């Protein structure tokens, strides 16, 4: 094992990692990037089929983003945004985001991560409801298998057990309803529309049981990302939004993964007709070249919040690096590149290829369901296609597939029962085709390994 590998094992605590296992296997150390490819310290080149963590939309060698960071760092490397301070890139980025918002929004607040944006949104729900004379509206509804981050409040809103077990989470007042995954949660003989109607009824029943006067907001990703690329069923969000409006409950949309073209629309909200009161975005905002997130809020929320800050003598929230000028400058250039590269047209073409290829792979004996939209997708692996019985988790079948892919120079992610896909938005049709061919080979290899 190399000295660098050993240094990592000795000194670096890795997030989202089995730490004892890491002591044995060590890290895959990435040294450089080239378009949608990354290269490790041994010179092995990989197609990064997850864009890092859903985020390196423009790949790993976009010089114009590096130049934007260098220009801003040379001119003004830091400035805070507390107490009336600002900087040119932050002001311009806020304006550009509001121009691009899927529905009219009033203001933007900046943070450094998606988790911080969600934490901020939760706090603003409570702040707004109290400012509006409804301090009891503190309960928040999320969805099982939803993912919203790993800060204390965001992890409580998340609906994945591994983000809460061992941490003493979730916090009180965080409620969860059924994941809208028709393949796994639908009942025998139930249509997709009937499934959606049942979940909408479940949501309303929860609101009535808890009391609408106690519910502050409902949070949702347009397409669940880390929960397995769960695309909402027909009629689901129409029904959900009607219930929220009926009971005067805020709708907060988490676009951290879906925003900036990942779904084939600029926003996931546009793909499914969502009308958020707040919208959180990150990841693709800077193509991950700098840590930055943004939270947009409607004018109704802003006016109540602004009046409350006046009454209280200030706004007791913010982050040292929120609105960092270097991150904002890189994000501005990222938005320019999305327009210049006509990224939505590119994703329309490559996304269609990815989705068609995934659905062809659904015929494979290991695959129970192929699902996705745009340049995000998943293959759910099953032990029995007819009964949809999952594999014993101890067999780690999805990881066997992704390990086989890594040996061939492709990086995908195994989560739960699924293999996930989120290639960079700059990927070419040929690269998508090569990836799909490799996946088929690795599925075949995994079948042989299971039968040995």
pLDDT digits (tens, 9 = 90+) for 357-415: 999 999 999 999 999 999 999 999 999 999 999 999 999 999 999 999 999 999 999 99
* Spatial contact of 378 and 390, defined as CB atoms under 8 Å apart: no
The CATH number of whichever domain residue 373 belongs to comes to 3.90.1150.10
What is the residue whose two structure tokens read 């203001």?
107
Asked which of 324, 340, 356 is the last residue of a domain, the reply is: 340
Is the predicted pLDDT of residue 133 greater than 90, yes or no? yes
pLDDT at 452: 73
pLDDT in tens, 410-445: 999 999 999 999 999 999 999 999 999 999 999 999
pLDDT at 321: 98
The CATH number of whichever domain residue 285 belongs to comes to 3.40.640.10
Q: Look over the chain and give the mean of its residue pLDDT values, rounded to a whole number.
A: 97
* Spatial contact of 275 and 245, defined as CB atoms under 8 Å apart: no
User: Does some domain include residue 93?
Assistant: yes
pLDDT at 30: 97
pLDDT category, 103, cuts 50, 70, 90? very high
Q: Burial level of 198, CB count in 10 A (0-12/13-18/19+)? A: middle
User: Does some domain include residue 28?
Assistant: no
CA nearest 259: which of 237, 292, 235, 298? 292
Dist. CA 284–CA 267, nearest whole Å: 11
Average pLDDT over residues 143-161: 97
What is the residue whose two structure tokens read 């529905």?
103
pLDDT in tens, 186-202: 999 999 999 999 999 99
Dist. CA 435–CA 235, nearest whole Å: 33
User: Does some domain include residue 52?
Assistant: yes
User: Does some domain include residue 13?
Assistant: no
Query: Which residues, at least 6 apart from 91, have a Cβ–Cβ distance to it below 8 Å?
Result: none
Dist. CA 148–CA 160, nearest whole Å: 10
pLDDT in tens, 259-292: 999 999 999 999 999 999 999 999 999 999 999 9
Average pLDDT over residues 297-301: 98
What is the residue whose two structure tokens read 């390990």?
403
User: Does some domain include residue 22?
Assistant: no
Asked if 105 and 226 sit in the same domain, the reply is yes
User: Does some domain include residue 320?
Assistant: yes
In this prediction the pTM is 0.96
Asked if 46 and 100 sit in the same domain, the reply is no
* Spatial contact of 307 and 273, defined as CB atoms under 8 Å apart: no
Range of the domain at 378: 35-58+342-451
Dist. CA 189–CA 147, nearest whole Å: 29
Strand ranges inside 211-351, DSSP E: 215-220, 250-254, 278-281, 293-297
What is Dmax (Cα atoms) for the chain? Answer: 71
pLDDT in tens, 300-323: 999 999 999 999 999 999 999 999
A 10 A CB-CB count for 98 gives: 15
Asked if 336 and 347 sit in the same domain, the reply is no
pLDDT at 2: 72
Is the predicted pLDDT of residue 349 greater than 90, yes or no? yes
Asked which of 283, 316, 340 is the last residue of a domain, the reply is: 340
Asked if 306 and 446 sit in the same domain, the reply is no
Asked if 51 and 108 sit in the same domain, the reply is no
User: Does some domain include residue 4?
Assistant: no
Asked if 250 and 125 sit in the same domain, the reply is yes
Terminal alpha carbon distance of the chain = 30
pLDDT in tens, 236-252: 999 999 999 999 999 99
Asked if 353 and 331 sit in the same domain, the reply is no
Note the Cα 61 to chain centre separation in Å. Answer: 22
User: Does some domain include residue 17?
Assistant: no
Outline where 313-428 has alpha helix (H). 325-340, 343-361, 397-407
Asked if 49 and 74 sit in the same domain, the reply is no
pLDDT at 451: 81
Domain total of the chain: 2
Asked if 95 and 166 sit in the same domain, the reply is yes
Dist. CA 161–CA 166, nearest whole Å: 9
For 136, phi then psi, to 5°, come to: -75, -15
pLDDT in tens, 159-187: 999 999 999 999 999 999 999 999 999 99
- Of the chain, the percentage scoring pLDDT greater than 70 comes to 100
pLDDT in tens, 59-80: 999 999 999 999 999 999 999 9
Is the predicted pLDDT of residue 15 greater than 70, yes or no? yes
| Torsion (CA) 94, 95, 96, 102 in degrees, nearest 10 | 90
Asked if 350 and 362 sit in the same domain, the reply is yes
Query: Which residues, at least 6 apart from 33, have a Cβ–Cβ distance to it below 8 Å?
Result: 39, 48, 56, 59, 60, 61
Dist. CA 86–CA 434, nearest whole Å: 46
Which region, left, alpha or beta, applies to residue 104 given φ > 0 means left and ψ of -120 to 50 means alpha? beta
Asked which of 340, 367, 400 is the last residue of a domain, the reply is: 340
Q: Omega before 206 cis (within 30°)?
A: no
Asked if 109 and 191 sit in the same domain, the reply is yes
Asked if 333 and 355 sit in the same domain, the reply is no
| Torsion (CA) 106, 107, 113, 117 in degrees, nearest 10 | -60
pLDDT category, 1, cuts 50, 70, 90? low
b/e 217-246 (16+ beta carbons within 10 angstroms → b): bbbbbbbbbbbbbbbbbebbbebbbebbee
């Amino acid at each position: 094992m190399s000295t660098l590998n050993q240094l990592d094992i000795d000194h670096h605590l890795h997030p989202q990692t089995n730490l004892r296992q890491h002591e044995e296997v060590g890290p895959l150390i990435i040294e450089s990037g080239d378009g949608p490819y990354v290269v490790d310290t041994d010179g092995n080149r990989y197609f990064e089929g997850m864009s890092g963590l859903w985020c390196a939309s423009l790949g790993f060698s976009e010089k114009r983003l590096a130049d934007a960071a260098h220009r801003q760092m040379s001119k003004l490397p830091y400035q805070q945004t507390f107490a009336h301070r600002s900087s040119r890139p932050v002001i311009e980025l806020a304006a550009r985001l509001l121009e691009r918002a899927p529905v009219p929004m009033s203001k933007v607040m900046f943070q450094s991560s998606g988790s911080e944006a969600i934490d901020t949104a939760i706090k603003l729900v409570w702040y707004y409801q109290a400012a509006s004379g409804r301090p009891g509206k503190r309960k928040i509804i999320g969805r099982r298998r939803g993912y919203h981050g790993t800060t204390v409040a965001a992890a409580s809103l998340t609906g994945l057990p591994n983000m809460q077990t061992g941490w003493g989470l979730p916090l009180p007042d965080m409620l969860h309803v059924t994941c809208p995954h028709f393949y796994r949660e639908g009942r025998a003989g139930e249509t997709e529309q009937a499934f959606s109607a049942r979940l909408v009824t479940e949501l309303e029943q929860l609101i009535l049981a808890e009391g609408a006067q106690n519910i502050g907001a409902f949070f949702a990703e347009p397409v669940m990302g880390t929960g397995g690329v769960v695309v909402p069923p027909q009629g689901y969000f129409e029904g959900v939004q009607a219930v929220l409006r009926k009971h005067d409950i805020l709708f907060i949309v988490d676009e951290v993964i879906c925003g900036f073209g990942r779904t084939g629309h600029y926003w996931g909200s546009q793909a499914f007709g969502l009308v958020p009161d707040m919208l959180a975005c990150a990841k693709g905002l800077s193509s991950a070249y700098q840590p930055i997130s943004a939270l947009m809020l409607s004018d109704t929320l802003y006016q109540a919040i602004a009046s409350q800050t006046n009454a209280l003598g200030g706004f007791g929230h913010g982050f040292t690096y929120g609105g960092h000028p270097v991150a904002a400058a890189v994000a501005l250039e990222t938005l320019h590149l999305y327009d210049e590269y006509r990224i939505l047209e590119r994703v329309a073409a490559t996304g269609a290829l990815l989705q068609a290829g995934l659905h062809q792979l659904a015929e494979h004996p290991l695959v129970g369901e192929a699902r996705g939209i745009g340049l995000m997708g998943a293959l759910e692996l099953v032990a029995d296609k007819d009964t949809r019985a999952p594999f014993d988790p101890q067999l780690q079948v999805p990881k066997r597939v992704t390990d086989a892919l890594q040996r061939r120079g492709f990086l995908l992610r195994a989560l739960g029962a699924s293999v996930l896909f989120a290639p960079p938005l700059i990927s070419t049709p040929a690269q998508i085709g090569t990836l799909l061919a490799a996946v088929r080979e690795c599925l075949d290899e995994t079948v042989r390994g299971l039968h040995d």
